[in-house]
């Protein structure tokens, strides 16, 4: 009987295979191009994670304890990373050579144009929807709205945005069934879309520990209570920051990895090691770089800076005042904007205590490799409460408008 079952199974597979091959046709190159690699990849994400302790050892230790990431109960402040970071969609594409616009991909708030068009198509008469759909934000002095961006052939592009902008209102289908695309004002609709992806990030404590620290023992003082004046952490530890909590909303994010090969210095960044007046080929900045653009809004940031005895509460980061454009000059939709460049650096960082070479240059062996992390930021920063020690008495509120910064790091071992 067992043998008969095997024969029957083999016969069935053969029959199916024969039928399948009977339908196969040889496709020419143009046909293959039409059916492969054109749609990209879409991934919907729900995430919640926690790390009990992160320890970096040099001789002593740098410790980060109680790291958590998740949602914030849709922004009502009741969550402590207890819900998921969700309603987040990743669109993954590898750009082509421009045929059929296969290198023209979403960037920043470009999808806001299509979102606004939904309201226009539903017959909504609020002219601001038509303006946004046409690429102009007339709620912010006529700033342009991001459009799709052209990328290089072979570049990897990951665009982060919400899965369903109306998830907090019951979802797209319910929203449409209730007739809200027709009746909603632009002001209300924008607020709903801005709050589509909420998050909360927490760290219990960041601190230092002596070389005999036992990894995983969670020895830092994490309760932000120093009224006794005594060290409540383990012996040989010092807490720098404790009870860090950040919550808010995520706007669109874009991760772009260039396809410019693995060489160095094509951008003119090569280093003149031999002193001949010309940059050496194969040194300097990597030709292929990583770019990460992120829009975010922090509605509440609290922390205790233990080492200085400073309490910061009710801190917010946004872009609701003054110049309301992002770093690209387009509308930020009230989100702060940050852009990071990350790339390798070869034979460009002078080694500590390096010896001078001929012609005033440094010897090749006196340079080390590193990683460059360049960060630009634009937004407004508000601090609602600032106090010293455990008094809880605030010295007042602080408001900073149109903050712009450009910070460049090169990290290497010495």
Is the predicted pLDDT of residue 43 greater than 70, yes or no?
Answer: yes
Residues 133-152, mean pLDDT to the nearest whole number:
97
pLDDT given at position 348: 79
Residues 265-269, mean pLDDT to the nearest whole number:
90
Contact between residue 205 and residue 199 where contact means Cβ atoms under 8 Å apart: no
* pLDDT grade for 73, boundaries at 50, 70 and 90: low
**Average pLDDT of the chain to the nearest whole number:** 86
Name which residue leads in pLDDT, 81 or 216: 216
Helix axes 186-194, 111-121, angle to 10 degrees: 140
Q: Which residues, listed in sequence order, are joined to residue 411 by a DSSP beta bridge?
A: 371
Q: Which residues, listed in sequence order, are joined to residue 244 by a DSSP beta bridge?
A: 203
Helices (H), strands (E): how many in the chain?
7, 17
When mean pLDDT is compared across 14-28, 135-149, 265-279, the lowest value belongs to 14-28
pLDDT given at position 158: 97
Radius of gyration for the alpha carbons in the chain, expressed in angstroms and rounded: 27
Secondary structure of 206-263 in HEC code, one letter for each residue = EEEECCCCCCCCCCCCCCCCCCCCCCCCCCCEEEEEEEEEEEEEEEEEEEEECCCCCC
* pLDDT grade for 55, boundaries at 50, 70 and 90: very high
When mean pLDDT is compared across 164-168, 311-315, 352-356, the lowest value belongs to 352-356
pTM, rounded to two decimals: 0.84
Residue 412 CA to residue 414 CA, distance in Å, equals: 7
- The percent of residues above 90 in pLDDT, for the chain, comes to 67
What are the pLDDT digits (tens) for 213-237? 999 998 898 876 667 777 888 999 9
Residue 259 CA to residue 157 CA, distance in Å, equals: 11
* pLDDT grade for 353, boundaries at 50, 70 and 90: low
* pLDDT grade for 146, boundaries at 50, 70 and 90: very high
Q: How far is CA 304 from the centre of its chain?
A: 25
Contact between residue 70 and residue 83 where contact means Cβ atoms under 8 Å apart: yes
Provide the 10 A C-beta neighbour count for residue 115. 19
Is the predicted pLDDT of residue 80 greater than 80, yes or no?
Answer: no
pLDDT given at position 352: 61
Contact between residue 264 and residue 284 where contact means Cβ atoms under 8 Å apart: yes
The encoded tokens of residue 17 equal 């295979």
When mean pLDDT is compared across 79-83, 135-139, 183-187, 313-317, the lowest value belongs to 79-83
Contact between residue 296 and residue 336 where contact means Cβ atoms under 8 Å apart: yes
């Amino acid at each position: 009987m067992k043998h008969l079952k095997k024969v029957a199974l083999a016969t069935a597979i053969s029959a199916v295979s024969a039928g399948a091959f009977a339908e196969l046709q040889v496709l020419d190159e143009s046909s293959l191009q039409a059916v492969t690699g054109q749609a990209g990849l879409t991934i919907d994400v729900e995430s919640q994670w926690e790390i009990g302790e992160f320890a970096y050892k040099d001789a002593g230790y740098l410790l980060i304890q109680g790291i958590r990431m998740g949602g914030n109960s849709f922004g009502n402040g009741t969550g402590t990373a207890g819900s998921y970071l969700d309603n987040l969609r990743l669109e993954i594409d590898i750009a082509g050579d421009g045929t059929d616009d296969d290198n023209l991909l979403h960037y920043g708030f470009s999808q806001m144009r299509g979102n606004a068009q939904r309201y226009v198509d539903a017959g909504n008469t609020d002219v601001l929807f038509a303006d946004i759909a046409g690429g102009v934000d007339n709620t912010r002095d006529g700033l342009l709205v991001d459009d799709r961006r052209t990328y290089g052939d072979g570049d990897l592009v990951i665009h982060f945005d919400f899965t369903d902008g109306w998830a907090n209102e019951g979802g797209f289908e319910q929203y449409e069934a209730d007739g809200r695309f027709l009746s909603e004002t632009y002001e209300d609709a924008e607020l709903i879309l801005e709050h589509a992806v909420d998050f909360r990030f927490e760290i219990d404590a960041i601190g230092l520990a002596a070389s005999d620290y036992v990894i995983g023992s969670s020895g830092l003082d994490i309760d932000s209570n120093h009224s006794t004046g005594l060290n409540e952490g383990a012996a040989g530890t010092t807490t720098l920051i404790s009870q860090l909590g950040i919550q808010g909303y995520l706007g669109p994010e874009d991760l772009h990895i260039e396809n410019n090969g693995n060489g160095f210095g094509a951008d003119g960044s090569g280093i003149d090691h031999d002193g001949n007046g010309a940059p050496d080929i194969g040194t300097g900045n990597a030709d292929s770089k990583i770019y990460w653009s992120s829009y975010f809004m922090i509605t509440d940031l609290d922390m205790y800076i233990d080492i200085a005895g400073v309490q910061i509460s009710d801190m917010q980061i946004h872009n609701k005042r003054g110049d309301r454009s992002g770093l690209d000059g387009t509308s930020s939709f009230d989100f702060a904007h940050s852009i990071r460049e990350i790339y390798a650096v070869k034979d460009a960082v002078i080694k500590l205590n390096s010896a001078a070479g001929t012609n005033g240059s440094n010897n090749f062996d006196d340079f080390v490799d590193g990683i460059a992390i360049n960060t630009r930021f634009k937004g407004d920063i508000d601090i609602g409460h600032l106090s010293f020690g455990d008094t809880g008495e605030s010295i007042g509120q602080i408001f900073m408008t149109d903050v712009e910064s450009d910070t460049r790091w090169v990290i290497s071992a010495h």
